[in-house]
Structure 1
């Protein structure tokens, strides 16, 4: 992973994700490479992303009786290529433990000066103005970072506002109208349906 001798690094090398070619002190924390070539080939064949691979491996380990540990997959994207930096264990999912884990991985990979944007979901622990992971990590790096919240979660916030205006507020996860729909799903002929967006009522509004 690391070079054993010092070398001059070309400017273009800093634009590629991965460990620096310059000499750095070997990290003291241990690691076990348990992904065999057959595993990697199977994951590649199924076109499973790094992020999904992490979740699959964690759930498999838990199913085999391994102790459940909260982990944070950290992935970089550069020039259209993604790189899984690591999946460190974290004590809690707060905005304090997460930036520490990310920052230490940035140091290990020598990319503390190359970060340009953060992409994450829009939870308070990530996007909080005072103790959010992004804010704290930006302070650690001493860089001006562009925030790119996950589009999926942005759409959820928009849908939430529409739901509250057109239907009603709810304080729990069980929404009666959705609960009834779930209970009657077995009685619905899924081969004969029309998307709601095609409804004349929906088109009207």
Structure 2
């Protein structure tokens, strides 16, 4: 009889503890990992640390599970960030420091967190950064080309020289062709196109394209290059 009475007292204390704490802890439970049978509440198999946060009944527990799932759904469906972080100056700085699009994502996120800015509100991903940087380079190139005037040009000298340089998007080397014109004491870089092949034909096509884009076809009076086979073909 003594054992039965002690067991009943322990059970009452256990139920009181569960009733007192279930509202605070019900949201932390996983529905699939909890069994609502009364055997789980036995003092012989459950310790105090395991039962402090158990709900009183399965009905009350299930009602809390519904509220929790609704809260999780609200967080999951949060809209994507819409605040543009990229600017022309930032894009130029990334290019000057030779920072890849993927590394730029890590740097921008780290800086935003250091400045206590909510990262989820920002548009920060590799594709958007890559797209903005390409557009920024195109706008900058067009502005330079518009400011360049051919009216004061007399006779220009065309310079080019193929170089093997590291690709901007990887560690492999690619054929680059710097194209420069000089006129008296001034000079202008027309471009440094990447060539699929370092042949003389590919170089000639790239040079012709850049001269056409800059409107310089009728101004070239001399050419300057080294004596490699591709340049003299």
Calculate the TM-score normalised by the size of structure 1.
0.35
Calculate the TM-score normalised by the size of structure 2.
0.31
Task: Give the structure with the larger helix fraction.
Answer: 2
